[in-house]
Chain A
Amino acid sequence: MATIPSSAAAVRPTTATAKSTLLSIRSVAKSFGKNVVLREISLDIAEGEFLTILGESGSGKTTLLRIVAGFESASSGEVWMGDERLDRQPPYRRRVNTVFQHYALFPHLTVEQNVGYGLRVAGRPNAEIVTRVAEALGKVRMTEHAKSKPSKISGGQQQRVALARALVNRPRLLLLDEPLSALDANLRRQMQVELKSLQREVGIAFVFVTHDQEEAMVMSDRIALLRSGELEQIATPREIYSRPATAYVAQFIGHTNLLQGEVRQGVVHCNSLSWATQLPEGPVLFSLRPESIQVVSAAKPATPGQLRVRGRVLQQAFHGATELIRVQCLGDLVLTVRTPSGTGIPDEVDLEFSAASAVPVRPSAGRN
């Protein structure tokens, strides 16, 4: 069907992943008139991978998903699935299914008919439709609602039906556009777990779009963080948290302290602090996670290799198992520190952190 144009080889990224690549997004850009929504996005999705596209509203994450699904066409760039060029195909020819943000269940059809829709339009024999629909409904525990109309079931149940309707077609890739955003917090957490285990079970690659960084951390194999149409970083949740590439990533995912410093002759100077480094000369920006900083007693001698500052507690916020305290140190340095809950915090504290836990990050354009 699809012929590979000669330019394809040039665009194909050279990075090889351990698992075989299922979908390859190559230099995809999109603009609506003068409004640039996506700039040169390239990323590969492996077979069976759970990839989350994370970003604020307006970051272009939904547009990217819609380009893969075929509801939008890219202004430039290509989308490949195996050796088949996807972006030239209409959505109904792509072996990709979508779970829509507001489920988009057909209101005039029953749950069962909704789930069977894809098989029916594909002209599958009736007996096969019946068994596969029953199986899919069983998998999402919706068998008893098979004959109900979508308006008669709850949001969480509609969510499951939408999932069954997509999965019953055995797509090679499932796209999920903020599918949990309409659910309340408890149900949402429950669905996160269910969705993740379902993905493991069916072994289909998921591309999951969300603006919720916690959700992304809990569910994903890898997270692609988009910002204003650009890919800031793509990495595993652990990596993206512990080694954020940019100041934006560090701030978007979890809490962090950004420290502005300068490297002179192999030494970082940052406010009153300084430590040896291998970084090149010049201004430098560090991300320091609140949990990398410890509150220590003033009497305790300084631990070798640790940096130590003293400061006054400005604010204390309770977060359950931990508390976040804001400490005004020497100069204009304000640090956020995570401490276990319940420990008495004096007005003046001594703080310690290791130089290694201060991760150098690229400054982000616009704001940081």
Chain B
Amino acid sequence: MFSRAYKTIVTAPPLLWVTVFLLIPYLLMFCYSFWSVSPAQTIVHSWDLANYRTLFRVNVYWQTLLRSMWIAARVTIFSLLLGYPLAYFLSFYAGKRKDLFYQLVIIPLWVSYLVRAYAWKTILGSDGVLNTLLQYVHFTKHPLEFLLYSPFAVVLTLTHIYTPFAFLPIYAALEHIPRNLVEASHDLGATPAQTFWKVIFPLSIPGVVAGATFAFVLSLGDFLAPLLLGGPSGIMISNIVVSLFGAAYNWPLGAAISLCMLALVVSLLFLSERLEKKWSFS
């Protein structure tokens, strides 16, 4: 249908883009991850697995990686717990106000990430909105310290930021369910609760898997929320990578950690795709 020349012209720029800005940098990172830094702060092209060994031997690295995964897991669970009922309500019960509610869910995505993170700072700080209120109602005498600069703050902020990402695929999956299946279920004597668990939920699983993947992968790699709200106990693996590529000047170790995370994320995406396929029926 289209000429060869046309196809080449259309596909070349994106291919070039991906090669120059994605493939080559990853290749460089891959090389870096085997190199090392000399005491004189120069990169030594040494080709060994020392960096990968460091990653698993030095506690702070693998512990931070585990903590990051634990934070991401909590964010995922809370995003699903918030996103699923919201999507379900919108899809099945919002009626004419569906579009309005949908926009209300989407609008936060248009607001800068930094603004949303700083907003939590003003809410959770020791003289922030929440602590002031709690002291005013005599719930507590002193400001609650665990609210800010803690894993709690990171989980809260990331949940706020990534819930729309969990919501969207769930909503899409629910919208995709033919309504006559719901009617058929009621017709066959199933109560609304039975219909939900036997028909609606199983058919929405691909959306849940996609939403969970979004929330987990995005929060696992997040470094701004822990940087702004995490404090020392809320540090995540990306913060370590940032510092290794920056002040610590250990690009090889930073590259090794990045590649491990990349491998983790890619295998998660792979798994998620398999799960989605297993649960999708068309």
Contact = CB atoms under 8 A, between A and B. Distances in A.
Q: Do A and B come from one complex?
A: yes
Contacts, number: 71
Contacts of A169: 188-189
Contacts of A105: 184
B99 interface: no
A90 interface: yes
A149 interface: yes
Given A69-B183, A92-B188, A169-B189, 7 more contacts: A92-B187, A92-B189, A100-B184, A104-B181, A106-B184, A108-B202, A121-B189
A133 to B, nearest CB: 13
Given A97-B188, A117-B188, A121-B194, A107 B183 contact: no
Contacts of A117: 185, 188, 190, 198
A92 B180 CA distance: 14
A165 B194 CA distance: 17
Give 5 nearest A-B pairs by CB, closest first.
Answer: A107-B281, A118-B188, A104-B184, A104-B180, A121-B190
B202 A70 contact: no
A91 interface: yes
Interface in A98-150: 98, 100-102, 104-108, 117-118, 121-122, 149
Contact of B198 (A121, A122, A166): A121
16 contacts: A69-B187, A70-B186, A70-B187, A91-B183, A91-B187, A98-B184, A104-B180, A104-B183, A106-B181, A107-B203, A108-B202, A121-B189, A121-B194, A121-B198, A151-B281, A169-B189
Contacts of B180: 100-102, 104
B191 interface: yes
Interface string B195-235: 00011001100000000000000000000000000000000
Main DSSP-derived SS at the B contact region? helix
A107 B280 CA distance: 9
Nearest to A150: B281
A132 to B, nearest CB: 13
Contacts of B191: 92, 121
Contacts of B203: 107-108
B97 to A, nearest CB: 17
Contacts of B189: 92-93, 118, 121-122, 169
Contacts of A93: 189
Contacts of B202: 108
B281 A108 contact: yes
Contact of B186 (A91, A108, A122): A91
Contacts of A151: 281-282
B190 A92 contact: yes
A318 interface: no
B178 interface: yes
A217 B258 CA distance: 73
Contacts of B282: 107, 151
A149 B184 contact: no
A53 B183 CA distance: 21
B198 to A, nearest CB: 7
Interface string B30-41: 000000000000
A96 B198 CA distance: 20
